[in-house]
Structure 1
Amino acid sequence: AAKQQAAASEAQVAQAEANNVRAQSDLARYTQLVQKQEISQQQYDQAVANAKAMTATVEAARAAARAAQQEIAQAQSKLAQAQAMLRSSRTSTQQVQVSQSKAKSASANVDRMKAELDQAELNLQYTTVASPVNGIVTGRTVEVGQNVQPGQELLRVINLDDIWVTANFKETQLAHMRVGQPVTIHVDATDKDYKGRVQSLAGASGAILSLLPPENATGNYVKVVQRIPIKITFDPDETKGHELRPGMSVVPKVWIR
């Protein structure tokens, strides 16, 4: 549109210049004629006015042409800027894509390194065998530097915070015995009395619970008093000194009243 307007302005300039040339020529001719008094002063004045008007028209046409050229220059400048921005935008898009690819690659490397770190930490944990409870090591079957196999027994840990007494009372002594009754436990090794409670009564006699239960011979009707395992636990803080050991001999006394 700007180029069409510029072309029209150039055409108007050419037309105005042609009209101006003719008007100036008429003015020169009318000047000679008025001097010879061959035309009236009014005709001469009209020729002068027409010449001035044509000159002004030429200037106006030239100004319009210059304005059109400026508009063309501005449009071309804007076009160049738009093209530069388009090229920059394409370059930026490519840079963004490259940056995104680098970010994805870096993220994948981070995930891989994190997985390797987790595996290394897990392998490091395998180098330490931790006991599930606190206690005293006994029955150790390995030495430092010895190779071991999965499932091999290395040692035993005795938890001295979880000690109880298994008392085999006669079945005739259980008539008034109940869970929760207080118990006095005399330990021969320390020659001390400890306080405890009846925690549970076994569901069968010791003979039935043994690895090889005895069987009466045919025709043997002798009545044998059976013994029932009773689990007795120590009261809190009774074993905090860790004086007792599994397997020690004790004499329990259950207070049924």
Structure 2
Amino acid sequence: AHAARDQAVAALAQAEAAVEVAKQDLQSVIVGRGTLDAAVEAARAAVRLARIDLDNTRITAPVDGRMGEIGVRLGQYVTAGTQLAAIVPADRWIIANFKETQLSGMRPGQPVSFTVDALPGQSFRGRIERFSPATGSEFAVLKPDNATGNFTKVAQRLPVRIAIDGDQPALDGLAPGLSVVVRVDTEGGAGRG
């Protein structure tokens, strides 16, 4: 009976040791699972980064238009911020720099007529779309400083954006940078710039 009891006590101790080993194995599995979860997340992040890199191999234009001044070749590596090409948008408009003395009576929506030096004999129509929030000199790299020395009053010019009506012949001849003469009928008086 003593031997059987000793054997049962030893079996109990062995079973308790087996439980402790099982608990340690469970803890190892839990730690291992966390490591595997981290490895899965790292793999998902690598896939996302690879997709971003793949998307960066395609360059899309922000607007529809015509390409010009292309300075890149197929297969060339470029860095962020490098100008690759210039795009001329399909929408056309004019920035007319009127003197501040000519702005009286002008408002958005007024009809405008204009001629283009490069297209003699053609007259085009449009409308005032909006006025710049400041004169051109305010946006200049070197701003005039009239606070010192002799001051001579100089009439400033305010950029006015003019939308061009789309149903006109010869619009394809218009290109950025052409010289134009704009006329705005301000209810009987003509402003010219």
Q: Does residue 222 of structure 1 match 2:152?
A: yes
CA distance in 2, matches of 1:229, 1:157: 22
Higher strand share: 2
Aligned counterpart in structure 1 of residue 135 of structure 2, from 205, 216, 226:
205
Q: Deviations over 1:213-242 (max 9, x none)?
A: 111263524322222211111113348853
Percent identity between matched residues is 41
**What is the Cα-based RMSD across aligned positions, in Å?**
2.8
Question: In the TM superposition, what are the counterparts of 1:168-207 in structure 2 within 5 Å?
Answer: 168-191=97-120, 192-207=122-137
Match of 1:54 in 2: none
TM-score (norm. length: structure 2): 0.61
> Considering only CA atoms, is the larger Rg found in Structure 1 or Structure 2?
1
Match of 2:58 in 1: 128
The 1:183/1:124 distance shift into structure 2, 3 A limit, reads same
Q: Does residue 149 of structure 1 match 2:79?
A: yes
The 1:149/1:170 distance shift into structure 2, 3 A limit, reads closer
The 1:239/1:168 distance shift into structure 2, 3 A limit, reads farther
Q: Which amino acid aligns with 1:169?
A: F
Structure 1 unaligned spans of 5+? 1-114
Q: Which amino acid aligns with 2:72?
A: V
Q: Which amino acid aligns with 1:201?
A: F
Q: Which amino acid aligns with 1:243?
A: G
CA distance in 2, matches of 1:203, 1:150: 31
Match of 2:185 in 1: 255
TM-score (norm. length: structure 1): 0.47
Question: Could you say which structure has the greater relative contact order, defined with CA pairs below 8 angstroms and 6 or more residues apart?
Answer: 2
The 1:215/1:122 distance shift into structure 2, 3 A limit, reads closer
Match of 1:246 in 2: 176
Q: Deviations over 1:178-225 (max 9, x none)?
A: 111100011111222111111112232222232221112635243222
SS at match of 1:255: strand
Superposition deviation, residue 247 in structure 1? 0.6
Question: In the TM superposition, what are the counterparts of 1:98-109 in structure 2 within 5 Å?
Answer: none
Match of 1:162 in 2: 91
CA distance in 2, matches of 1:140, 1:166: 25
Q: How many residues align?
A: 140
Q: Which amino acid aligns with 1:188?
A: D
The 1:215/1:239 distance shift into structure 2, 3 A limit, reads farther
Higher helix share: 1
Superposition deviation, residue 124 in structure 1? 6.1
CA distance in 1, matches of 2:134, 2:96: 14
Q: Which amino acid aligns with 1:204?
A: A
Q: Which amino acid aligns with 2:98?
A: F
CA distance in 2, matches of 1:153, 1:222: 40
Superposition deviation, residue 168 in structure 1? 1.2
